[in-house]
């Protein structure tokens, strides 16, 4: 009797599982969208800001009736800013949870880890803000809604040459990060093209605490400025230790500097330094203004950063593609994403090019009074 009951139980459970998994894609009453983000760990503010932007977009889309008559359901996974986690959680989202598309990640190294899984499963992936060119080179299911680092590197090299009139620059690269290595290379190429000289090239490992040996070598090379294409925690510590060593030249960074933690950790030491990024809430269209208002309302008065804006846009671009595809079939949504043209978004108009990247303007910001002050916009 007991055994019979057990068999019955197993039968019920397995049919239940089969039923939910077969319904999860087309048949269910929601459309599942997967999101992977660094909600905790070294780059936690990247994941948190992105998640807040993504969720706001999903809530707004649902409030306006959803997509194809269904609500979007956001399934969020934390990559903990750790290597290895992105593959694990994206595998789960795709194979177990039945996500029809994936949004994420911010850090290029983590996007690169998950992209082959999406490509193989024919599930479209959209990175909101990974800028290394290799991310979308993974394959035709991998997209992004932001510019790439050959452009960002050029923007900061020209800023160094033309605005700062720097002739000699040192470059300090995080060799653990694909983003940092790529951006350093593109910056150097353009800076040399401008007639500038790279007087020192030093490396660090993301997460290091002591940068004094390398900074001492940089100081000895007597540069006019130092390019530090890293993430905010490292950049802030580098700025503090540069000051302590009497290296008092401008530091330049890329979008990886963007976090309120940069000034929280770096305080006075980051004052006056410059970085490039995707968006600033003070400039932009009516769409951007509405986004800032709604974001502040939704997230208790917090101002959105570029990460939130790019993530918001990634969800809008996906919803638009699913609508145009009129199905959640991965290949058809991929085709629709590839033909995204002049889509009005918060960070600018988005056209997906043949490389599945978006060609968009960059903004240059300066740290002033603990805030990020808008300086200029550079068109592609
Ligand atoms: N572009 C960075 C990368 O590819 C990530 C990033 C984007 C960080 C925007 C901050 C702001 O790794």
Q: What pLDDT does residue 359 have?
A: 94
**Radius of gyration of the chain measured on its C-alpha atoms:** 22
Q: What pLDDT does residue 25 have?
A: 45
Residue 320 included in any domain: yes
Residue 378 included in any domain: no
- What pTM was computed for the model? 0.93
Query: Six-digit token pair at 289?
Result: 């203004």
- CATH number of the domain within which 93 lies: 3.40.50.2300
Claim to verify: residue 241 and residue 163 sit in the same structural domain: yes
Residue 2 included in any domain: no
Ligand 1 pocket test: pick from 107, 311, 358, 372 the residue with the most ligand atoms within 8 Å of its Cβ. Answer: 107
Residue 197 Cα, ligand 1 centroid: separation in angstroms? Answer: 26
Residue 87 included in any domain: yes
Q: What pLDDT does residue 9 have?
A: 45
- What is the secondary structure of 311-376 as a DSSP string? HHHHHHHHHHHHHHHTS--HHHHHHHHHT--SEEETTEEE-B-TTS-B---EEEEEEETTEEEEEE
Claim to verify: residue 165 and residue 213 sit in the same structural domain: yes
Q: What pLDDT does residue 284 have?
A: 81
Q: Tell whether ligand 1 has an atom less than 6 A from the beta carbon of residue 161.
A: no
Q: What pLDDT does residue 27 have?
A: 54
Q: What pLDDT does residue 132 have?
A: 98
Q: Report the alpha-carbon distance of residue 55 to residue 286 in Å, rounded.
A: 20
Q: What pLDDT does residue 23 have?
A: 42
Residue 135 Cα, ligand 1 centroid: separation in angstroms? Answer: 12
Claim to verify: residue 46 and residue 142 sit in the same structural domain: yes
Ligand 1 pocket test: pick from 255, 260, 363 the residue with the most ligand atoms within 8 Å of its Cβ. Answer: 255
Task: Give the orientation angle of helix 286-298 with respect to helix 306-325, to 10 degrees.
Answer: 110
Claim to verify: residue 254 and residue 142 sit in the same structural domain: no
Residue 305 included in any domain: yes
Residue 128 Cα, ligand 1 centroid: separation in angstroms? Answer: 9
Query: Six-digit token pair at 48?
Result: 């948190």
Q: Tell whether ligand 1 has an atom less than 6 A from the beta carbon of residue 111.
A: no
Are 364 and 375 in contact by the 8 Å Cβ rule? The answer is: yes
Q: What pLDDT does residue 12 have?
A: 44
CA 78 vs. chain centroid, Å, equals 14
Q: pLDDT by residue (tens digit) across 259-281?
A: 999 999 999 999 999 999 999 99
Claim to verify: residue 158 and residue 193 sit in the same structural domain: yes
> Hey, how many other C-beta atoms are within 10 angstroms of the C-beta on 40?
14
Where in the sequence is the domain holding 134, given as residue range(s)?
21-147+284-360
Domain count, the chain: 2
Residue 14 included in any domain: no
Residue-by-residue pLDDT tens, the chain, 380 positions: 445 444 544 444 444 444 444 444 445 899 999 999 999 999 999 999 999 999 999 999 999 999 999 999 999 999 999 999 999 999 999 999 999 999 999 999 999 999 999 999 999 999 999 999 999 999 999 999 999 999 999 999 999 999 999 999 999 999 999 999 999 999 999 999 999 999 999 999 999 999 999 999 999 999 999 999 999 999 999 999 999 999 999 999 999 999 999 999 999 999 999 999 999 999 888 999 999 999 999 999 999 999 999 999 999 999 999 999 999 999 999 999 999 999 999 999 999 999 999 999 999 999 999 999 999 999 99
- State the virtual CA torsion across 157, 357, 61, 33 in degrees, nearest 10: -110
- Choose among 126, 221, 129: nearest CA to 170: 221
Residue 10 included in any domain: no
Q: Which residue has the tokens 């800013």?
A: 81
Helix residue ranges per DSSP H, 78-230: 85-91, 108-121, 134-137, 149-158, 178-193, 212-220
Residue 281 phi/psi, 5-degree rounding, is -60, -20
Claim to verify: residue 224 and residue 260 sit in the same structural domain: yes
Residue 78 Cα, ligand 1 centroid: separation in angstroms? Answer: 17
> Hey, how many other C-beta atoms are within 10 angstroms of the C-beta on 313?
31
């Amino acid at each position: 009797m007991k055994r019979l009951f057990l068999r019955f139980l197993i039968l019920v459970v397995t049919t239940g599982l089969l039923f939910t998994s077969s319904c999860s894609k087309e048949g269910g009453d929601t459309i599942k969208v997967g999101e992977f983000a660094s909600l905790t760990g070294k780059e936690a503010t990247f994941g948190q800001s992105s998640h807040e932007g993504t969720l706001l977009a999903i809530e707004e889309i649902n409030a306006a009736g959803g997509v194809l008559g269904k609500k979007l359901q956001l399934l969020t996974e934390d990559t903990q800013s750790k290597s290895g986690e992105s593959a694990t959680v994206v595998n789960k989202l795709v194979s177990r949870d039945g996500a029809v598309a994936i949004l994420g990640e911010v850090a290029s190294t983590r996007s690169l880890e998950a992209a082959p899984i999406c490509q193989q499963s024919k599930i479209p992936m959209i990175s909101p803000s990974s800028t290394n060119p290799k991310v979308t080179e993974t394959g035709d299911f991998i997209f992004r809604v932001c510019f790439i680092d050959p452009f960002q590197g050029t923007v900061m090299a020209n800023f160094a040459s033309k605005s700062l009139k720097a002739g000699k620059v040192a470059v300090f690269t995080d060799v653990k990060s694909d983003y940092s290595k790529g951006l350093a290379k593109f910056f150097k190429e353009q800076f040399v093209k401008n007639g500038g000289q790279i007087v020192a090239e030093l490396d660090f490992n993301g997460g290091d605490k002591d940068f004094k040996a390398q900074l001492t070598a940089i100081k000895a090379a007597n540069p006019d400025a130092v390019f530090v294409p890293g993430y905010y925690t490292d950049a802030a510590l580098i700025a503090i230790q540069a000051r302590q060593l009497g290296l008092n030249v401008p530091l330049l960074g890329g979008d990886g500097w963007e976090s309120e933690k940069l000034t929280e950790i770096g305080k006075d030491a980051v004052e006056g330094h410059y970085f490039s990024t995707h968006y600033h809430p003070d400039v932009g269209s009516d769409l951007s203004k509405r986004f800032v208002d709604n974001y502040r309302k939704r997230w208790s008065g917090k101002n959105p950063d570029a990460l939130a804006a790019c993530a918001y846009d990634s969800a809008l671009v996906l919803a638009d593609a699913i609508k145009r595809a009129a199905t959640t079939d991965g290949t058809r949504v991929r085709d629709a994403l590839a033909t995204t043209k002049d889509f009005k978004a918060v960070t600018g108009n988005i056209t997906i090019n043949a490389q599945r990247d978006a060609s968009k303007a960059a903004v240059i910001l300066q740290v002033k009074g603990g805030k990020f002050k808008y300086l200029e916009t550079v068109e592609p």
